[in-house]
Chains A and B, each alone.
Chain A
């Protein structure tokens, strides 16, 4: 089997790409996609540990399922908000939404 570090490194790289996406993207939906990427990276990490560190137990797999469920719910909510935002302001660009400032 390939060593666990490869999965962990993969997970780390995917996570970092996600973080970069969150910070650097201007479109709200793209930020959401990057958040999804981060969540899936964490999921890979969980599954890797589940398979390699304790094969007879399966907490990691359960946790991965949880992550998927939470991600789904969160995306639904987030898209609703973005839709509302787009309808009010005709822009999904987060740089232009700054009414809640000091």
Chain B
């Protein structure tokens, strides 16, 4: 069992999804154990694959990755293949996806208990896990696109899980349509590359790009289109609007899909296609700019949002923006490290929010307060997650942020670095706000506070485990820790673009980041501690900014206007054309014309014999005349 069996990793959840969809409702407990079993098996197989991978790396020399899979269809010049490719990048993603999905599925046993569509939930979750695992293992762009659409579909189905609620159905639609715009870009980009190179295989395309075989214009265009796809799925500006609304779905869905896995598919895509981004002109600059805009917009919006899950969603947007900034440097190490640690603390934050929701049936943080006394364990792990997000030493988020700052400092210009440093403060601010408003202070709604209780073991277990990882996961940056675990070194030695990037301490950067985090946390305490009166005062003195942030920079209104005034108008014109020209005139019209012709012709049947005789005679005479004329 090794890298050759890597194809089992996505196939097992896929099979469980198929079984659950077809016969799920006849299985005991609607089959949740089957889903958990399949994902657990994938996770176990992953360890074997990882062992094989580290052994191959330890033997030294060039390692191109382990391949497996089968051919699907062969044409003359190229082959469509269900190919799976294991290398360090996909190994990190596999770890994240399989572990977090396992945690989420176990958590869901407690959270989704008694749900009307329990079996369907598990079926679609399994399908999602299968698609995501295929996505990260795919070795050709076609399979990647196939899996890309698969995760989009499952996200739609899961966001709309409570589709009896209008807002949930609308949110699912919004998510799907927004990411669709990006997906179109991805498809066109992939097809452009296929037309230039003649194959869908990723390594062939990268080799062709690096050797200059692809025309520069086509290369840049297709890279930007692929970036468009990544921006759609990873909710970068201007596609970020779907992610906060996606919180309509069940909380475990938010934890799995919209925190740890699907939204990072875009980051993974850019990391995987980094050779293309390096070869194209200016693509990396756009990545950085988009990432910065997303980071700051979402950080400021997170300061005023009142729905607990939405604040965490905005923090996800914040993190995704930072990952994109990291990728903009052309190196994958920092981004992947941030992705790795982010998966743990973000999933933790979401699952803990789910526990709060499960206990109090409320998500509005204005009604919360003082929950720390009633739910101590949840409060502690949530705070750990929040501090990790803010980037406090020695939690995982700190090491990831530090690596990010280092990369930005060394490989990007000072302006970008300064902005990233500034974002550290804002992140700390809004995370502190969330923790303080929910878990500390005096309860603002007595009734809510009475009913708050710790969740059961099935829900607590995964959260605590994630909490532990949030604390220690960052230590993988150190070479010593890495070697202890069997890797060639720390994270930077394992996942890198061109050369290993060992972690080293830049005292100045580390000190400034620690100071800024503390400043942000202190600021949060100052504004939102106790009764949060000072924050309210600031809000009252800057009403326009408050309104701007609460209305999400009016982006949703802008999009709605575009839809109403542009898209629907064009659609109306097209519909008019289809109805009037194609249907009424073309289809109905020809039928009506034929019927009218028939109506006119029937008067020929007079029933009088002499009439018929006359017609015959005229016909014969006419033919004779024509024959005579043509003959001579």
Residues of A within 8 A of B (CB): 19, 22-23, 31, 94-95, 97-102
| 26 A-B pairs in the complex with CB atoms less than 8 angstroms apart | A22-B613, A22-B617, A23-B610, A23-B613, A23-B617, A31-B609, A94-B609, A94-B610, A95-B608, A95-B610, A97-B607, A97-B608, A97-B609, A98-B606, A98-B607, A98-B608, A99-B607, A100-B605, A100-B607, A101-B605, A101-B606, A101-B607, A101-B608, A102-B602, A102-B606, A102-B607
Chain A CB within 8 A of B628 CB = no
Within 8 A of A (CB), among B574-632: 602-603, 605-610, 613-614, 617
Query: Which residues of A sit under 8 angstroms from B614, Cβ to Cβ?
Result: 23
A74 → chain B closest CB, angstroms: 15
Interface residues of B (CB under 8 A from A): 602-603, 605-610, 613-614, 617
| Contacts A98-B608, A101-B608 supplied; 13 other A-B pairs, CB < 8 Å | A22-B613, A23-B617, A31-B609, A94-B610, A95-B608, A95-B610, A97-B607, A97-B609, A99-B607, A101-B606, A101-B607, A102-B603, A102-B607
Closest chain B residue to A19, Cβ basis: B617
Measured between C-beta atoms, what is the minimum distance from B212 to chain A in Å?
79
- B residues within 8 A CB of A31? 609, 613
List residues of chain A with CB within 8 A of the CB of B607: 97-102
Closest A residue by C-beta to B601: A102
Residues of B with C-beta under 8 A to A95:
608, 610
Residue of B nearest to A28 (CB): B609
Question: Which residue among A31, A99, A101 has the maximum number of chain B CB atoms within 10 Å of its CB?
Answer: A101
- Alpha-carbon separation in the docked complex, A95 to B613 (Å): 12
- CB-CB < 8 A to A101: which residues of B? 605-608
Taking a contact as CB atoms under 8 Å apart, the answer to whether B605 and A102 are in contact is: yes
- Nearest CB on B from A14, distance (A): 16
Within the complex, the shortest CB–CB distance from B195 to chain A, in Å, comes to: 62
Whole-angstrom CA separation of A94 from B610 in the bound complex? 7
CB distance from A69 to the nearest CB of B (A): 23
Of listed B606, B609, B614, residue having the most chain A CB within 10 A: B609
User: Sorted from nearest, which 4 A-B pairs have the closest CB atoms?
Assistant: A101-B607, A98-B607, A94-B609, A100-B607
CB distance from A28 to the nearest CB of B (A): 8
A97 — which chain B residues lie within 8 A by C-beta?
Answer: 607-609
Hey, which chain B residues are within 8 Å of A19, CB to CB?
A: 617
Q: In the complex, what residues of A have CB within 8 A of residue B605's CB?
A: 100-102
Residues of B within 8 A of A102 (CB): 602-603, 605-607
Bound together, the chains give a CA A63 to CA B546 distance in angstroms of 109
Q: What residues of chain B lie closer than 8 Å to A100, measured between beta carbons?
A: 605, 607
Q: Which residues of B contact A99 (CB under 8 A)?
A: 607
Residues of chain B within 8 A (CB-CB) of A98 are 606-608
Complex: A31 Cα to B607 Cα, angstroms: 16
Q: In the complex, how many angstroms separate the beta carbon of B166 from the nearest chain A beta carbon? A: 59
Shortest CB distance B620–A (Å): 9
Bound CA span A59–B614, Å: 32
Taken together as a complex, chains A and B put the C-alpha atoms of A100 and B607 apart, in Å, by: 5
Query: A22 CA to B602 CA in the complex, in Å?
Result: 24
CA distance A70 to B605 in the complex (A): 28
Q: Chain A contacts of B603 at CB under 8 A?
A: 102
C-alpha gap A80/B613 in the complex (Å): 20
Q: Report yes or no: A94 in contact with B617, Cβ–Cβ below 8 A.
A: no
Chain A residues, Cβ within 8 Å of B608: 94-95, 97-98, 101
Q: Which residue of chain B has the shortest Cβ distance to A101 in the bound complex?
A: B607
Beta-carbon nearest neighbor of B607 in chain A: A101
Query: What is the chain A residue whose CB lies nearest that of B599?
Result: A102
The residue of chain A having its C-beta at the shortest distance from the C-beta of B602 within the complex is A102
Closest to B608 in A: A98
Task: Give Cα A95 to B608, complex, Å.
Answer: 6
Q: How far is the CA of A19 from the CA of B610 in the complex (A)?
A: 11
Q: How far is the CA of A94 from the CA of B614 in the complex (A)?
A: 14
B135 to chain A, nearest CB (A): 70
Q: How far is the CB of A41 from chain B (nearest CB, A)?
A: 14
Bound Cα distance A23, B612 (Å)? 9
CA distance A95 to B607 in the complex (A): 9
**Closest approach, in angstroms, between the C-beta of B611 and any C-beta of chain A?**
9
Return B416 CB to nearest CB of chain A, in Å. Answer: 86
Measured CA separation A8–B35 after assembly (Å)? 100
Complexed CA–CA distance, A102 and B608 (Å): 11
Closest to A34 in B: B613
Who on chain B is nearest to A99 by CB?
A: B607
Closest Cβ neighbor of A35 among chain B residues? B613
Give the shortest distance, in Å, between A101 (CB) and chain B (any CB): 3
Cβ-closest chain B residue relative to A98: B607
The chain B residue sitting closest to A95, CB to CB, is: B608
Residues of A within 8 A of B609 (CB): 31, 94, 97
Distance of A23 Cα from B603 Cα, bound (Å): 20
Q: How far is the CA of A33 from the CA of B606 in the complex (A)?
A: 24
* Closest A residue by C-beta to B603: A102
Of B602, B607, B614, most buried by chain A (CB within 10 Å of CB) is B607
A residues in contact with B606, CB < 8 Å: 98, 101-102
Chain A residues with Cβ below 8 Å from B613 are: 22-23, 31
Minimum CB distance partner of A97 in chain B? B609
Closest-by-CB residue of B relative to A94 is B609
CA–CA, A97 and B613, complex, Å: 14
Report the Cα distance A101→B603, complex, angstroms. Answer: 8
- What is the chain B residue whose CB lies nearest that of A96? B608
Measured between beta carbons, the chain B residues less than 8 angstroms from A23 are 610, 613-614, 617
CB distance from A93 to the nearest CB of B (A): 10
A101 and B607 CA atoms in complex are apart in Å by 4
Q: Give Cα A95 to B617, complex, Å.
A: 18
| Smallest Cβ-Cβ distance to B620: which chain A residue | A19
Closest A residue by C-beta to B611? A98
Q: Return A84 CB to nearest CB of chain B, in Å.
A: 15
Q: How far is the CB of B595 from chain A (nearest CB, A)?
A: 15
State A98–B607 Cα separation when bound (angstroms). Answer: 5
Chain A positions within 8 Å of B617 at CB level: 19, 22-23
From A26, which residue of chain B is reached at the shortest CB distance? B610
Bound form: Cα–Cα A99–B614 in Å: 19
> How far is B609's CA from A95's CA once the two chains are assembled, in angstroms?
7
User: Cα distance A97–B606 when bound, in Å?
Assistant: 10
Taken together as a complex, chains A and B put the C-alpha atoms of A102 and B610 apart, in Å, by: 16
Using CB atoms, name the residue of chain A closest to B604: A102
Task: Please name all residues of chain B whose beta carbon is closer than 8 Å to the beta carbon of A22 when the two chains form the complex.
Answer: 613, 617
